Amino acid sequence: MTDTKTRIDETVKANDVVLFMKGTKDMPQCGFSSKVAGVLNYIGIEYTDINVLADEDIRSGIKDYSDWPTIPQLYVKGEFVGGCDIIVEMTLSGELDGMFETNGITFDKDASNKIREANG
């Protein structure tokens, strides 16, 4: 487990935005992962996607690492942000925009506004 925790920790700290998900950003393999990847892709976030289905150690290890029982899991600047429901809520409230702005993460503000308009 220590090796897995180290691998996860290094990945989270070496990349500004990381999404641990089922599948990949181009081909999500579950609805929740698809929803979060869809938001990130739509608003133009550059992020590292980690397919937990490709590595059972990572799949179980990420849950211990974050103390969060579900996947997907989003990390920004080394900090755990949340899973699907939290990311959707933060997107709709504008909180996700603020977090990206605070951390210097480039994204398409107009696209973010369009998501809110479509769901408002």
Q: How many residues does the structure list for the chain?
A: 120
d(CA 86, CA 61): 21
| Residue 84 is assigned to a ligand binding site | no
Which residue type is seen at 92?
Answer: L
Binding site, annotated residues: 30
Binding site, annotated residues for [2Fe-2S] cluster: 30
